[in-house]
Structure 1
């Protein structure tokens, strides 16, 4: 069975980003982004996300200023909140658990480009998924890089760049982000 470029993309393999099917899906996402970002009614915006994202909880909220590649590769849990100016580049899945709070100007970035210049010039790219657990708070300006998994009850300080995965109950900060505090939390 031949894999489509989309299949390769979602599997984290090298794929041709100029593929016609992918281009059309990105164009459709741009139309949805324009409508979402122009919508002032927060209930309508939430409904738009529920119809667009791969999966969502019932209670989700996102401010305007949102950018993504496709949208349907984004999965958010219950009680999801994202402030202004989010960039979720979803060439691979982005999965966010319940009770997530995302401050303004955050970036969740799944795409990667080959180190080999010939592959890069040819338009090939690949990605790695991002997984974020329950009860996570990303403060303003956080960047999560491809392949990162964050456990439950993680807090990431403003302006941090998360380059590797971390487990549960930690506070991260810095560039690259590192653990600055362990949290002793009861189960929520």
Structure 2
């Protein structure tokens, strides 16, 4: 039997904060956060922290990025979140240090149980390991774990966990080859393996 939406209810405490706090964050995000100058990365990180996010050092958040419930977000040191990226944090979303969530990415940490007629909402956490790169317009499904060092190609759709240090792409996203990295000496600008 398909869903009967008149029976849908958001479970008590699902949002993690009161309706007033949720609405206040959404107002701040659409105004002060979004209108802040491009270079105001520390200010936007500060705003997220004020609303309960755990945000590391030197985090770069573009003003058009969206965070549904900041208190369910953890960003490590040196994380980049690009233009129009959405962290739909119905469940916990963790992005570890030195990782990039590029422009247009959508991390969806919640869904509905379609097998039940009341269409119950479920929070399902997403984890992105350290040194990962989600290229432009990547979709990450609820409950997915992306291991350290993974590169996810542009416009990929990630529906299952991805193994450490692999280049992955496609829809559904699959590991294609091991990631080979070059260590760069910043003093001279040349790579060495």
Distance 1:72 1:32 in 2: 14
- Which residue number corresponds to residue 165 of structure 2? 169
SS at match of 1:178: strand
Task: Provide TM-score, normalisation by structure 1.
Answer: 0.82
CA contact (8 A) 1:130 1:148 kept: yes
Aligned to 2:92: 93
Q: Does 1:5 align with 2:12?
A: yes
The one-character-per-residue Cα deviations of 1:28-58 (angstroms, maximum 9, x if unpaired) are 2202212211111333223223333531112
**Structure 2 CA distance, aligned partners of 1:154 and 1:69?**
25
| 1:45 alignment partner in structure 2 | 44
SS across alignment from 2:148: coil
Displacement of 1:114 after TM fit?
1.8
Give the CA deviation at 1:76: 0.5
Answering whether residue 155 of structure 2 is matched by residue 159 of structure 1, we say yes
RMSD: 2.3
Higher helix share: 1
Q: 2:71 matched to 1:75?
A: no
Is the partner of 2:50 in helix, strand or coil? helix
**Alpha-carbon distance in 2 for matches of 1:153, 1:53:** 27
Which TM-score applies when normalising by structure 2?
0.80
Structure (1 or 2) with the larger CA radius of gyration = 2
User: What is the 5 A alignment of 1:117-128?
Assistant: 118-120=117-119, 124-128=120-124
d(CA) in 2 for partners of 1:66, 1:161: 19
Give the match for residue 29 of structure 2: 33
Separation in 2, partners of 1:9, 1:57: 23
After superposing on structure 2, the runs of 4+ consecutive aligned residues of structure 1 that deviate more than 4 Å are 184-187
- Partners in 1 of 2:50 and 2:19 — Cα distance? 20
Aligned residue pairs, count? 171
What is the CA–CA distance in structure 1 between the aligned matches of 2:108 and 2:100, rounded to whole Å? Answer: 17
Residues 115-163 of structure 1: per-residue CA shift (max 9 Å, x gap): 136312xxx3112100111001110000110000011000000000000
1:184: Cα distance to partner? 4.7
Please name the residue that 2:6 is paired with: none
Structure 1, gaps ≥5 residues long: 11-20
Whether the 8 Å CA contact 1:53–1:75 is kept in 2: the answer is no
